[in-house]
Amino acid sequence: MGEKRFIMKPIVLVFAMLTSVAVLCSADTSSGRPNILWIVVDDMSANFSCYGEKTIETPHVDRLAAEGVRFSRAYATSPVCSTFRSAMITGMYQTSIGVHHHRSGRGEHSIQLPDGVRPVPEYFQEAGYWTCIGSGLPGFDLKGNPTERDRLGKTDYNFDWDKDMYDSHDWAGRAEGQPFFMQVQLNGGKIRGASEAHYEAIEKRMLAEFGSATEPQSVELPPYYPRDSVMLRDWSTYLDSVKITDRHVGRVIARLTKEGLLENTLVIFFTDHGISHARGKQFIYDEGSRIPLVISGPGIGESETRTDLVEHIDVAALSLAAACIDISERMEGRDILAPNYRPKEAVFAARDRCGEAADRIRSVRTDDYLYIKNFYPERPFLMPSEYKDNKLILKRLRQLRSEGKIGPLTEKLLFSPTRPPEELYLYKEDRWQIRNLAENPKHLAALEQHRSRLDRWIEETGDQGPETLEVYILETEDQMKSTRNVESRERYRESSELYLRWMREGK
């Protein structure tokens, strides 16, 4: 389709209109059960035209929104890859099933799913579906580049799982008439990389594929990032990665159309958390946890906008329901497309250890407020992290600070040596969550209500909390054994020793 800018029609679904979403599953399967196709994108916020992004145009994701339903308040229950994906594939809060520490359970410390919890591909397989995970385009990799070797897509689960739950990297190998459950896994924001060399590579690609790259001065940055040339260029190359992703989505949709599959395929587009940045990925503010969620396909109304709060773990439940597969009573995700669905009063999120950076943050969102509890307030916001500290943007932020070239807001939000024990934001009025109202007497009642609601959720869901000292040592040693780069390994080791000291000191 052309590059014409799409404008979302201002239709808002309220509870009374939820029944307008048709039930996808019925007893009549003469026309075949629907295919279920997830498009899961790494490291990307809702920077699409249909979500209000003005610097670039994204016609293909916009088309899905025009032909389906767009969720304006969808949130990740965890803002980092492996914990998000472990929750996604089980329909469970990662904190409930012990998979909430990033890249855990990969070595000597293995993690088994609790009884009654299974990865959803197993349910699809048992129901006769062909299960596959890849790029969605044979001959192209997860970055959208040509390849001679098609592979399975990204999994990144923090528990032991059977690789046979995936039949293939693509739906092409299924039996005639067999429905498929496909995950199109795309590198998304990771395409931009984290260095000058990566920026140059993506700019060359943009010139070759689009004729131009995004102009750095045209981008809007969150107010706590200085409008520095490095920061602007990083964000513009990130937006270029959004355009590349959007084009890949368009090609997958074109393939479905060509093969006569689109009309019977439920397409679910979402990302695994927000942009990888200082206050984005790994953190629970909107920059890190708000994600796009667009659903299009049989039984879905057109150009609808849902403004109720939803969580990414709901994708598992609605997908099983659409395929006429019973949803486990234990599953915490909900079928948000069901005619009798009642919108959630609150959604929850958690940050735990990311790499060697041991942490524990929990949050609850309601219609008006975002409440965050920092369990280790004596630790700085930008704690040592081999993964983050090696990024060009983090190095630049620290350099600008050393030169006295950052403002008070950046100093307060990014470089404070401690964190507030509690944070409270009117997040719809405070887009970037910069005005903490936790100590404002006018919001005391809301603070107490949200504190109690979060405490109940922690207890009711069996939040498994921090790792023991012994498990932390096992996990970090496993990571160092798998790190071939000597400098990276030593930086990681140095940081992990600091966290061990903090743990022993009770900090």
3-state secondary structure 29-66: CCCCCCEEEEEEECCCCCCCHHHCCCCCCCHHHHHHHH
Same-domain check for residues 263 and 290:
yes
Averaged pLDDT of the chain: 93
Query: What pLDDT sits at residue 23?
Result: 45
Same-domain check for residues 368 and 336:
no
- Give the start-end residues of each E strand in 2-156: 12-13, 35-41, 68-75, 130-134
Amino acid at the residue 134: G
Query: What pLDDT sits at residue 25?
Result: 61
Same-domain check for residues 334 and 371:
no
Same-domain check for residues 399 and 325:
no
Neighbours of 469 (CB within 10 A): 12
Matching residue, tokens 């397409």:
267
Count how many domains the chain has: 2
Among 293, 308, 342, the domain-final residue is 342
496 assigned to some structural domain = yes
Which two three-digit tokens encode residue 132? 């596959």
Same-domain check for residues 127 and 209:
yes
Which two three-digit tokens encode residue 330? 């234990």
Query: What pLDDT sits at residue 9?
Result: 36
11 assigned to some structural domain = no
User: How far, rounded to the nearest angstrom, does the alpha carbon of residue 358 sit from its chain's CA centroid?
Assistant: 20
The three-state secondary structure class of 96 is coil
Residue burial 292-330, b: 16+ Cβ < 10 Å; e: rest: bbbbbbeebeebbbbebbbbbbbbbbbbbbbbebebbee
Query: What pLDDT sits at residue 28?
Result: 39
Same-domain check for residues 303 and 423:
no
d(CA 299, CA 41): 24
Same-domain check for residues 202 and 265:
yes
The three-state secondary structure class of 410 is helix
* Residue ranges making up the domain that contains 399: 361-505
Query: What pLDDT sits at residue 32?
Result: 77
4 assigned to some structural domain = no
Q: What angle do CA 183, 105, 76 make, to 5 degrees?
A: 45
Query: What pLDDT sits at residue 12?
Result: 39
Counting as low any pLDDT under 70, the low residues of the chain are 1-31
Which two three-digit tokens encode residue 264? 């019977």
64 assigned to some structural domain = yes
Tell me the per-residue pLDDT of 378-408, one tens digit each, with 9 for 90 and over: 999 999 999 999 999 999 999 999 999 999 9
Which two three-digit tokens encode residue 209? 């594929």
Same-domain check for residues 292 and 370:
no
Query: What pLDDT sits at residue 24?
Result: 55
